[in-house]
Amino acid sequence: MKKEFNILTDLPKISGPKNLNFFLKFFIWLAILVFGGVLFLFFSKIMGIIVTGLGIAHGIELAHQALHDTGFTNSKLNRVSGFLFCFPSFISFSAYRHSHLIHHRLVGTKEDSEFFTYNLTFGFFKRIFNFFLIPKYIDFLISTLRILKGEKYGNGQIPKDVELDIKCDIKITGLLLTAAYFLPFGDSNFLSFWLISQFFVAGVIHTLIELPEHFNCEKLNTDIKYNTRTIQAGRLMTWFTNGNNYHIEHHEYPLVLPEFTHLVHPIATKGSPNINESYIDFVLNDFFKIERANYNWNFINHVFNPRKPL
């Protein structure tokens, strides 16, 4: 008979960092990237780009665990691994960590601001702009130029030690981008392979992963059950998102390891209206429904049928 989960006695057993678990995740992530590169060079360029892009997107989900210090027991190892997970997407791990931990404290309030966002008030083209993470790439470029000029990062409200870490992340990423440009790879250079994998695959996949987390939830309700969404995905998607599909559970118990968040699901989500059975269920029954209600589809209809008035 299966033992029932006890929140008092069992929660400590599934919380906190475990070195071996996270090392295996790190090794598998590296293996995916290497496999993508091999595919690109020797078998299929398109498949190589897709696999590499998927690997880069998966890395951001692993960085999310590292920033909560539930990866390695050593915080410096979390910092180093977090940087490695993030830099292929031109993201400063230190900036992501600083912003995300504030998000955890302020979720459900007016002051909350997510590091990655999809705003329903955006127009069609601006949504596409954000869907491909273009504002993040522009922000990275501007931040790099400012740092090279010796200017401060951000609006001056970031703690000095965090700002130094962010500047370090961006400088090293810039050096790696430069090195990638001079590294031959297939018919071109490694930078081209990297940029295509990130822009057309990893960025889009990452948006699709992050999008449901607070989509169409009560933004100004501090109750996690109402301001956050959980998706009961299968084993493959739960692994790929590193448990971030169980997002209500993560906000309620942020120190629970991603591979165990399903155990606190019945307790954390009791009474929540924001639960989907799968990502397909979310897309069909939440995303498309809200998009149809908010977007002026009459404009699209008019393009294809000019006789029909707006």
Is 291 part of a structural domain of the chain?
A: yes
Cα 34 to chain center, whole Å?
Answer: 21
CA distance 233 to 245: 7
Give yes or no for a contact between 269 and 251, defined as CB atoms under 8 angstroms apart: no
Please give the pLDDT value at position 113. 76
Number of domains in the chain: 1
Please give the pLDDT value at position 302. 40
Is 19 part of a structural domain of the chain?
A: no
Is 45 part of a structural domain of the chain?
A: no
Two tokens at 183? 């590294």
Ordered per-residue pLDDT tens for the chain, 310 residues = 566 777 778 888 889 999 999 999 999 999 999 999 999 999 999 999 999 999 999 999 999 999 999 999 999 999 999 999 999 999 999 999 999 999 999 999 988 876 666 665 566 677 778 788 888 888 889 888 888 888 888 766 788 899 999 999 999 999 999 999 999 998 889 999 999 999 999 999 998 888 889 988 898 999 999 999 999 988 999 999 999 999 999 999 999 999 999 999 999 999 999 999 988 888 888 777 666 555 544 444 444 444 444 3
Is 51 part of a structural domain of the chain?
A: no
The three-point CA angle 47-52-55 to 5° equals 130
CA distance 203 to 82: 17
Please give the pLDDT value at position 117. 62
Is 72 part of a structural domain of the chain?
A: no
Q: What's the one-letter identity of residue 143?
A: S
Please give the pLDDT value at position 157. 77
Please give the pLDDT value at position 120. 56
- What does DSSP say about strands 230-231 and 188-189: parallel, antiparallel, or unpaired? unpaired
Supply the range of the domain harboring residue 224.
90-304
Is 5 part of a structural domain of the chain?
A: no
User: 152-185 burial string, b = 16+ CB within 10 Å, else e?
Assistant: ebeeeebeeebbebbbebbeebbeebeebeeeee
Is 155 part of a structural domain of the chain?
A: yes
Please give the pLDDT value at position 197. 96
Give me the phi and psi of 189, to 5 degrees please: -125, 170
Q: What is the 3-state secondary structure (H, E, C) of 196-235?
A: HHHHHHHHHHHHHHHHHHHCCCCCCCCCHHHHCCEECCCH
Please give the pLDDT value at position 226. 95
Residue 289 has a CB neighbour count (10 Å cut-off) of 12
Please give the pLDDT value at position 211. 86
Is 258 part of a structural domain of the chain?
A: yes
